[in-house]
């Protein structure tokens, strides 16, 4: 009887410990905002902020996804570094990054090494600079618009024997603020931010821009003031010349 009580007590203690440890393991998953390890599809893409580094520990043949927000007037640039162990070198695989907008339309790179063959190098450096994000566009156009952008990193041209080789990767998205030079007379009704996983956030820290205010208004105002001053100055000079001419043409002896 005593033995049965001991076993029962031990079972209760074990169950309590298991539940407690389960809660401890579940807690980090409740808030994955700090997690940057890559997702494996558009729907599971890991959100990162501009300037934040995304990471991945994966295998050759995997598709790795991250997402980041980009606003109107910004020119995003995505950089990626893939580190290859000795066993993954010399396979002839080509590593590639592609960037898609919130509608999952592939966006062309203006410049940058978007794809590169690994060869025997220990790492591969990739980069893609997009066109400037516009506040508004025609429905038929493929212009980059404010919202979520997806980064996909993968290797192509792999042989069957090369699949599953361990690799590590890092990505980082930054942007250059182009300003009023890229402003257009129109605004998007809402940023292209598709539904994301609960707890994820695809919005910039300082929110989305209003879409109508750019530094172009400042330069327009300065131009208007200068034009007004030039008009006043020209009128003053012309008026003075007219008076001098009239006085010189007046009849003598009057």
Count the helices and strands in the chain (H runs, E runs): 2, 10
Between the two ends of the chain, the Cα-to-Cα distance in Å is 143
Q: Are 89 and 122 in contact (CB under 8 A)?
A: yes
Contact by Cβ (8 Å): 70, 147: yes
Output phi, psi for 242, to 5 deg: -65, -40
Three-state DSSP at 8 gives: helix
pLDDT at 254: 46
Q: What is the chain's length?
A: 254
Please determine, looking at this structure, whether the domain spanning 34-199 carries the CATH number 3.40.50.300: no
Provide Rg for the chain, Cα atoms. 31
Is residue 123 within 8 Å of 83, Cβ to Cβ? yes
pLDDT tens digits in sequence order for the chain, 254 residues long: 444 444 444 444 443 443 333 333 233 343 444 557 899 999 999 999 999 999 999 999 999 999 999 998 899 999 999 999 887 787 778 999 999 999 999 999 999 999 999 888 899 999 999 999 988 888 788 999 999 999 999 999 888 888 888 999 999 999 998 866 556 666 777 888 875 444 445 677 767 774 455 555 565 667 777 888 888 777 788 876 555 555 555 555 54
Q: What per-residue confidence (pLDDT) applies to 227?
A: 82
Exposed, middle or buried by CB within 10 Å (0-12, 13-18, 19+), for 116? middle
Statement: the pTM of the whole predicted model exceeds 0.75? no
């Amino acid at each position: 009887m005593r033995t049965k009580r001991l076993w029962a007590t031990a079972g209760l203690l074990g169950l309590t410990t298991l539940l407690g440890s389960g809660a401890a393991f579940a807690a980090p998953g409740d808030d994955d905002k700090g997690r940057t390890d890559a997702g494996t599809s558009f729907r599971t893409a890991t959100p990162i902020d501009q300037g934040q580094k995304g990471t991945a520990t994966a295998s050759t043949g995997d598709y790795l996804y991250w997402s980041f927000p980009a606003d109107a007037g910004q020119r995003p640039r995505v950089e990626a570094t893939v580190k290859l162990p000795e066993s993954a070198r010399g396979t002839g695989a080509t590593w590639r990054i592609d960037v898609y907008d919130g509608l999952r339309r592939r966006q062309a790179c203006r410049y940058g090494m978007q794809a590169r063959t690994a060869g025997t190098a220990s790492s591969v450096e990739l980069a893609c600079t997009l066109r400037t994000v516009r506040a508004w566009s025609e429905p038929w156009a493929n212009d980059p618009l404010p919202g979520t952008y997806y980064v996909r990193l993968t290797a192509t041209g792999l042989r069957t024997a090369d699949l599953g080789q361990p690799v590590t990767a890092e990505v980082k998205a930054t942007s250059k603020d182009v300003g009023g030079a890229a402003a257009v007379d129109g605004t998007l009704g809402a940023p292209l931010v598709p539904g994301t996983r609960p707890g994820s956030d695809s919005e910039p820290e300082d929110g989305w821009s209003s879409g109508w205010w750019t530094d172009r208004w400042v330069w327009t105002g300065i131009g208007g003031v200068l034009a007004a001053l030039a008009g006043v100055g020209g009128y003053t000079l012309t008026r003075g010349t007219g008076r001098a001419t009239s006085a010189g043409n007046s009849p003598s002896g009057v």
